[in-house]
Amino acid sequence: MTNIEGGTAARGAEVAARATESGRKRGGGLPAVGALAAATFTVVTSEMLPVGLLTPIGRELRISDGTAGLTLTVTGLVAAVSAPLLTMLVGRRDRRVVLVALMGTLAAANLLAAYAPNVAVLLVARVLVGLGMGGVWAIAAGLAVRLVPARSVAAATSLIFSGVAAASVLGVPAGTFLGELGGRRTAFGAMAVVCGVVAVALAVLLPPLPEPAAVRLNGVLAVLRGAPVRTGLVLVALLVTGHFAAYTYVRPVLEEVAGAGAGQISTLLLAFGLAGLAGNFLAGAGAARSPRAALLVICGVLAGAVLLMPLLGRGAGVPGAALVVAVWGLAYGGVSVSTQTWLMAAAPGAREAASALFVAVFNGAIALGALAGGRAADGWGAVGVMWLGGALAVGALVAVGVGRAPVREVPSCPK
């Protein structure tokens, strides 16, 4: 490391320490962490709602599954761009105020999606979802260290990211159920209400969170110089692209390969989410000790589950698919917290810049996965989607094994 880079890292750590101490003196703790978990739940549910609604959306708007999947693709692309840009544009503004404003944007976006009379208006709504999501996730992901004592940072980070898994447990299955009962308008309208409630919770429960130093473009680029950061981002790109290439089209796959009906699909998505919630906390504890070890397990298990879906789905029907879905959910539930822990350990003095890059790559990978999965679904059918997702997960496993991991693997709060 050069003297310039070392000085930059030291100044970053010093600024982060002052911000952390300020946040703790004014509040925080478990209620604030819980509000951030609710925020991650809301943004991920908003983003993923079309997964369980692909069939109703296609039926109501008279479009193919691949075209309906663009509602996920556009959201991921916008979130990927907005995460670093919004982080820089908000400068030193109070992060509590910024988060509340972004949640309000999500509420408006879901209302527009509920109204949308055609796919063009729906895509505009999904652009707004991407704006809100990218900003919320980039800011919320690194706030645990400013809200709780150092000994509780790992557990608080897992709790914040439990909102991601809870979105699969409650949000996506509930949206699927509401879509079956009242159509996609009912599902998007209910999500708008949830966004409004979470915005109020953030305003009430978060302490003031002014940022002592604004994130600058040169700071974001400086983070990219670290080999462990680059390895982490490659890993995220491969693993998340592979997962979403397959998961975006999990409903058509379950229908075609395993012969699952609408009610069974809701149950299977619930099983995926419950397993994911468990995987989040298991992986959070493991990643706090060694992100590389945790991610080697996650990548291997996820790749195996996706590749086995056609075999067990056809051979054992719905029970076989249920087993694969549960194992898949257990593995994917740990992806967000483990990869975030990797990047926080790789750039301890630039948490928000690293989070912005993480969210950008993560959501770009969601968009790419949804797009690639759509092309595979339209061209190769359900089995092709699974093979594509599994191959990319294997690539992620290789990246973890041969790439550079953080030297200091256990993240800690700056003193």
pLDDT at residue number 203? 93
Question: pLDDT tens across 278-328, in order?
Answer: 898 898 888 888 899 999 999 999 999 999 888 877 767 788 888 888 999
Better-predicted residue by pLDDT, 107 or 249:
107
pLDDT at residue number 16? 45
Query: Residue 214 — pLDDT band, cuts 50, 70, 90?
Result: low
Q: What one-letter code names the amino acid at 217?
A: L
Q: Is 17 exposed, middle or buried (0-12, 13-18, 19+ CB in 10 A)?
A: middle
Percent pLDDT > 90 in the chain is 27
Query: Residue 413 — pLDDT band, cuts 50, 70, 90?
Result: very low
57 contacts 68 by C-beta, under 8 angstroms: yes
Averaged pLDDT of the chain: 81
What is the longest distance spanned by two Cα atoms in the chain?
A: 62
The reported pTM is: 0.73
- For helices 291-332 and 227-247, the axis angle rounded to 10 degrees is 10
Q: Given a cut of 60, is residue 111 above it in pLDDT?
A: yes
92 contacts 211 by C-beta, under 8 angstroms: yes
pLDDT at residue number 100? 95
Q: Given a cut of 60, is residue 18 above it in pLDDT?
A: no
Comparing CA positions, the residue from 135, 337, 352, 357 lying closest to residue 224 is: 357
